[in-house]
Amino acid sequence: MLVLGNSLGTTDAVWAQQVPAFSEHFRVLGYDLPGHGGSPAPPGPCTVAGLGALVLALLDSHGIERAAYCGISLGGMIGMWLAAHHPERITTLGLVCTSAYLPPADGWRARAEQVRSAGLAPIAPAIIGRWFTAAYAARHQAVIETFTSGLVATDPAGYAGCCEAIAAMDLRPDLAAVTAPALVIAGADDPATPPDHGAAIARGIPGASLQVIPDAAHLATVSHPAVVTSALLRHLRGPASH
């Protein structure tokens, strides 16, 4: 079993290019963050621990005791929390374009307040600019339009609640408790979670490895699907995943 966690402001479209290859080797289970895709918005601020608890409840509802987990951005943050606090549930961990600590907290809280009052359309261009390099965007306008539409359609309350989860997050003390074999993938040109954030995770998790993808911004699963898919499959199918 393989669980896939999405990034803030996206749906399962962020993993769409990986799912066919993953499905050849695993049962694949995805989920939406609160207020994203088909998931209801939260009643208030979220925490990474609370989001992790929702994933555990999903696994329980499917009768899944143990699973591999791959997450991008906020999905990766949730994966780190799960692997540290419930190591018996996570067999293998893939972390893509993510961070264990992403200050400044005031910036995330200000973004949450802005989104609650004005929605996502005003900030969508700036967010898309972090998700994809300018060169990629120029060559793939249809992809940019699809992900912009998905971002703007996100429930503002859900997006804001997840921003507050990131504001309150500091997973650095948890990393040493992760026992699942971990692969960290970073985008060389990711302004949201730069490569040094991935390197810090890889240093903190015992035995973790790091791969940096050239010319990749934040949504590397979308812009560099073959590289990400190959790296994650090699990791997931290693001896420790069976």
Q: What is the CATH number of the domain that holds 237?
A: 3.40.50.1820
Question: Minimal CA–CA distance to 220: which of 19, 73, 9, 77?
Answer: 73
40 in Cβ contact with 34 (< 8 Å): yes
Answer whether residue 241 shows pLDDT above 50: no
- Tokens 């309350």 correspond to 157
Instruction: Tell me which long-range contacts 135-142 makes (C-beta under 8 A, separation of at least 24).
Output: 135/215, 136/215, 136/217, 136/223, 140/223
Helix, strand and coil content of the chain, in percent to the nearest 5, comes to 50, 15, 35
Q: What's residue 43's pLDDT?
A: 84
Answer whether residue 133 shows pLDDT above 50: yes
The residues with which 209 forms a beta bridge, in sequence order, are: 183
Question: Minimal CA–CA distance to 186: which of 100, 96, 94, 78?
Answer: 96
Q: Is 5 helix (H, G, I), strand (E, B) or coil?
A: strand
Mean of all residue pLDDT scores within the chain: 96
> Which structural domain range is residue 75 located in?
2-241
Confidence of residue 239 (pLDDT cuts 50, 70, 90): low
The residues with which 211 forms a beta bridge, in sequence order, are: 185
Euclidean distance between CA atoms 73 and 163, whole angstroms: 12
Confidence of residue 242 (pLDDT cuts 50, 70, 90): very low
Query: What's the pLDDT tens digit per position in 91-116?
Result: 999 999 999 999 999 999 999 999 99
Beta carbons within 10 angstroms of residue 164's beta carbon: 20
Q: What's the rounded mean pLDDT across residues 12-18?
A: 97
Q: What's the rounded mean pLDDT across residues 148-155?
A: 97
Q: Is 61 exposed, middle or buried (0-12, 13-18, 19+ CB in 10 A)?
A: exposed
- Over pLDDT 90: what percentage of the chain? 95
Query: What's the pLDDT tens digit per position in 180-218?
Result: 999 999 999 999 999 999 999 999 999 999 999 999 999
Q: What's residue 238's pLDDT?
A: 85
Count of structural domains, the chain: 1
Q: What's the rounded mean pLDDT across residues 136-144?
A: 98
Q: What's residue 240's pLDDT?
A: 44
- Over pLDDT 70: what percentage of the chain? 98
> Does the reported pTM lie above 0.85?
yes
Query: What's the pLDDT tens digit per position in 224-235?
Result: 999 999 999 999
Euclidean distance between CA atoms 178 and 206, whole angstroms: 7
Q: What's the rounded mean pLDDT across residues 129-148?
A: 98
Question: Minimal CA–CA distance to 108: which of 121, 127, 95?
Answer: 127
Q: What's residue 38's pLDDT?
A: 85
Contacts of residue 114, Cβ cutoff 8 Å, sequence gap at least 6: 122, 123
C-alpha to C-alpha distances, 209 to 17, 35, 103, 122, 148, nearest whole angstrom = 23, 33, 24, 38, 32
